[in-house]
Copies of this chain bind each other. A is one copy, B any other.
Amino acid sequence: MSDREVEQEKIKTEHSECGGKYVEMVKKINDNMPCEEEFYDLSELFKMLGDSTRVKILYALSQGEMCVCDIVELLDVTQSAVSHQLRLLKQARLVKYRRSGKSAIYSISDDHVYTILSMGMEHISE
């Protein structure tokens, strides 16, 4: 009996306590549950959007590419703080950048980011 089957048995038996109304459904969901890593990645993605400084940066960049000092002006945040957050956003591949002379020009890395942001904005305006 595989670990998975053992787990299934556990659900069938132990779970019957609380009415058992949802046991079958839970069993079915359990079979199609995304793996740990997917949930981790998903939460990491949202975590990046879960800070107001970063969300402001992303909003700004959603209006067009700009350099770090533009962002510093636009938001009321230290250059250092912006730079640290940009590094995180870059690591998460939510933004990309290129150098142009003394400046570093940042931009949103793909449209998905913009879509998720808009979805969020739509949601909160209710």
Residues on A facing B (Cβ under 8 Å): 11, 14-15, 17-19, 22, 25-26, 29-30, 33-34, 36, 38-52, 54-56, 59-60, 63-64, 66-67, 69-70, 73-74, 101-103, 112-113, 115-117, 119-124
- Return the contact of A26 from the options B18, B41, B51, B74 (Cβ within 8 A): B74
Which 5 residue pairs spanning A and B have beta carbons closest together?
Answer: A47-B50, A46-B49, A50-B50, A43-B52, A46-B50
Query: Is the Cβ of B34 less than 8 Å from the Cβ of A101?
Result: no
Closest Cβ neighbor of A40 among chain B residues = B52
Q: Would you call B43 and A11 a contact (CB within 8 A)?
A: no
| Minimum Cβ distance to chain B for residue A124 (Å) | 5
How far does the Cβ of A29 sit from chain B's closest Cβ, in whole Å?
A: 5
Chain A interface helix/strand/loop/mixed: helix
Distance between Cα atoms of A112 and B102 in the complex (Å): 42
Given contacts A39-B59, A42-B55, A43-B50, contact A25 B64 (CB under 8 A): yes
B43, B51, B67: the one contacting A22 at CB < 8 Å is: B67
Contact B123–A119 (Cβ < 8 Å):
no
With contact pairs A42-B121, A45-B123 given, residues A22 and B70 touching in the complex (Cβ less than 8 Å) = yes
